[in-house]
Structure 1
Amino acid sequence: MKISGSAFDDLARAEFTPTSTFLNTASNGLLPARAVTALHEAARLRAEGRPLTSLYEDVEACRAAYARLAGVPAGRVALGASVAAHTGLIAASLPAGAEVLTAEGDFTSVLNAFHVRGDLKVRTVPLERIAESVRPGTALVAVSAVQSADGRIADLPALREAARAHGARTYVDFSQSAGWLPMDAGAHDFSAAVSFKWLLGPHGAAFLVVPEDFGGLTPLLAGWVAGERPWESTYGPVAEYAHSARRFDLTHALFTFAGLRRSLDLIEELGVAAVHAHDVALADRFRAGLASLGHQPVPAPGSAIVSVPGLGSRQPRLSEAGIEVSDRAGNLRAAFHLYNTAAEVDRLLDALAG
């Protein structure tokens, strides 16, 4: 059963002990206490030379937990280290001359590999026009569900319908939304997300969701863990790849998955719907306070990320005062998550007013 209200707040307070007003989850999330404990325990296994069996169990638990959050079968989820690597795998699968449609100013990891190919037609349009810009001959549309720079939310249902109408595939980066915004990865051909932002895990893990038929991907980066029987695939070429998306797995960062398992447990305990309501309420409080100060943020209704033009230069001074936000292209970016409170929003507003 999901929790809310005071129970939600009590659990968040018990799990997180920041020493600052941390409003910077769009850069990296805080680690909950249970994840820190798991990381220590994993390190102790290595230090003491004990079997690592439980760490491999953590890997599969993370795959299953992310699949539940994404709304897809676990067999569609591959595990890697970064969104950039996942994008590279998708880029490598496209034929020369294929058109890839992207959004202006999107995060580098979701689009750079298509440019590096050199023989693809990469077309870039404003985020608000991406659905209407899909056309006959578009092979793939690659976009972040939520823009890192300013929190704008893509109209994914409209994009999916446009892609279907023109026979294009879709690739969505959920890195800035997984954990606070309800996710329907099954509506898209490919999607990815990192673990260390809103999912509250350590660095070093990223998820990739692929179609049941693998969407034409080749396991170019695969090693022994991608075999149907991994421990029989440790020498020589892999004789039989996993029959699931695990064929695209990269060697697992075991410590990372040990901590991430507990972070994902926390997200599921709280429930994404409750986290969403909490996060957006704080962001809306900040937007209202900005208006009273005469500041206009980048329009991003319904987002947990708020970006304020012209205030990015305030970031160093705010950090000195114990308030952590980001400077992105001259804009001050604040990102609100489950461990934040209304009092912290007000503290940031007071600092900006001063």
Structure 2
Amino acid sequence: METTESFESLIRTEFTARNTYLNTASNGLLPVRTVAALQEAALLRAEGRPLLPLHEDVEGCRAAYARLVGVPATRVAAGASVAAHTGVIAASLPTGAEVLTVEGDFTSVLNPFHVRGDLKVRSVPLERVAESVRPGTALVAVSAVQSADGRIADLGDLREAARDHGARTYVDFSQSAGWLPMDADLHDFTASVAYKWLLGPHGAAFLTVPEDFGGLTPVLAGWVAGEVPWESCYGPVAELARSARRFDLTHALFSYTGLRRSLELIEELGVSALHAHATGLADRFRAGLESLGREPLPAPGSAIVSVPGLGSRQAGLSEAGIEVSNREGNLRAAFHLYNTTADVDRLVDALAD
């Protein structure tokens, strides 16, 4: 873990935002090292040099993400979106299977189950998801942190309820990977995009599966899913990878090359330090809102703060150099490693006007 001084020094070196950026729940900022890696990758293509280093970066990302979520790299698949990973899970369910979801959860976690048309998809409020697992529930799908308002799911209660009723669990870490400590080994399936709190480019996402693959069929498998990819380019794949790589999608090489450097930064700083930093700023913002007579939606312990009735201020704040989100009329601010107390105070002052 970095000391406070080295933490702040590294952040000043790695980030070059020209505004007050409080919108990581939409997109994370790219570190300087990541931008440099993307530029070098583009030059490889432009100059016709071998791209093997970019393929090696995919494996470096797989290993780094595995360390981050606490599972062996053999259980991590590298893809492009959570929706695609959800689709693989949805395709594995038998006709009539019940999927329990959360009302208002992010579409990528939900829609592949709905478009099947022959599944029983049931939605309940987040605070009732554990108590709503029942005999016959095949799968519970939920985001660890809700995108719209930052509420954190009680994954312990959910896991216990699912175990008691023989249901599998699928958790989306997209709004938590990078600031909230997590353990993918506690769930059957997990997924995450990399362009938010993991500070990577668009086009990279991860899926974790059990050692026995949890009954999933690699319905999107292409040549990269072969045990020997370069011998799997023509005709049907003779042998699928013996690891979770059988669920890989063709890799967006530039994205993974950049992401590898971003994950290195996350590991250098440590998720525990990032958690303390981000949630400390979020709490400072909540205190500032209280001084303005405003009350955010309840999301204790979250790095995301959503304030009812202020979403209409988003455009004006952006013009003033403060980036936040408008989610269904709520102002959403998200705090990460590159934010400071000055950023929080500037937002509070702007909202006071």
TM-score (norm 2): 1.00
Give the distance between the partners of 1:268 and 1:237, measured in 2 at CA.
38
**SS of 1:132 mapped into structure 2:** helix
**SS of 2:53 mapped into structure 1:** helix
The corresponding residue for 1:10 is 9
Cα deviation, residue 203, structure 1: 0.2
The corresponding residue for 1:240 is 239
- How big is the alpha-carbon RMSD for the aligned residues of Structure 1 and Structure 2? 0.4
**SS of 2:130 mapped into structure 1:** coil
Give the distance between the partners of 2:3 and 2:225, measured in 1 at CA.
40
Partner amino acid, structure 1, of 2:171: V
Give the distance between the partners of 2:92 and 2:279, measured in 1 at CA.
37
Structure 1 position 131 matched with structure 2 position 130: yes
Give the distance between the partners of 1:152 and 1:4, measured in 2 at CA.
29
Structure 1 position 221 matched with structure 2 position 214: no
User: How does 1:156-235 map onto structure 2 within 5 Å?
Assistant: 156-235=155-234
Structure 1 position 102 matched with structure 2 position 101: yes
Give the distance between the partners of 1:285 and 1:7, measured in 2 at CA.
22
Structure 1 position 119 matched with structure 2 position 115: no
Structure 1 gaps, min length 5: none
The corresponding residue for 2:58 is 59
Identity %: 81
The answer to whether the 8 A contact 1:4-1:274 is kept is no
The corresponding residue for 2:334 is 335
Q: Deviations over 1:166-218 (max 9, x none)?
A: 00000000000000000111100000000100000000010000111111111
Partner amino acid, structure 2, of 1:9: E
The corresponding residue for 2:313 is 314
The corresponding residue for 1:155 is 154
**SS of 1:131 mapped into structure 2:** helix
Structure 2 gaps, min length 5: none
The corresponding residue for 1:38 is 37
Cα deviation, residue 13, structure 1: 1.1
Cα deviation, residue 53, structure 1: 1.1
The answer to whether the 8 A contact 1:36-1:259 is kept is yes
Cα deviation, residue 52, structure 1: 0.8
Partner amino acid, structure 2, of 1:147: Q
Give the distance between the partners of 2:147 and 2:258, measured in 1 at CA.
24
Partner amino acid, structure 2, of 1:331: N
The corresponding residue for 1:264 is 263
Cα deviation, residue 6, structure 1: 1.4
Q: Deviations over 1:202-249 (max 9, x none)?
A: 000100001111111111111100000001101000010000000000
TM-score (norm 1): 0.99
Q: Deviations over 1:310-340 (max 9, x none)?
A: 0000000000000000000000000000000
Q: Deviations over 1:44-76 (max 9, x none)?
A: 011110111111110000000000001000000
**SS of 2:132 mapped into structure 1:** coil
Cα deviation, residue 4, structure 1: 2.9
User: How does 1:72-83 map onto structure 2 within 5 Å?
Assistant: 72-83=71-82
The answer to whether the 8 A contact 1:173-1:191 is kept is yes
**SS of 1:123 mapped into structure 2:** strand
Give the distance between the partners of 2:52 and 2:97, measured in 1 at CA.
44
Count of aligned pairs between the two proteins? 353
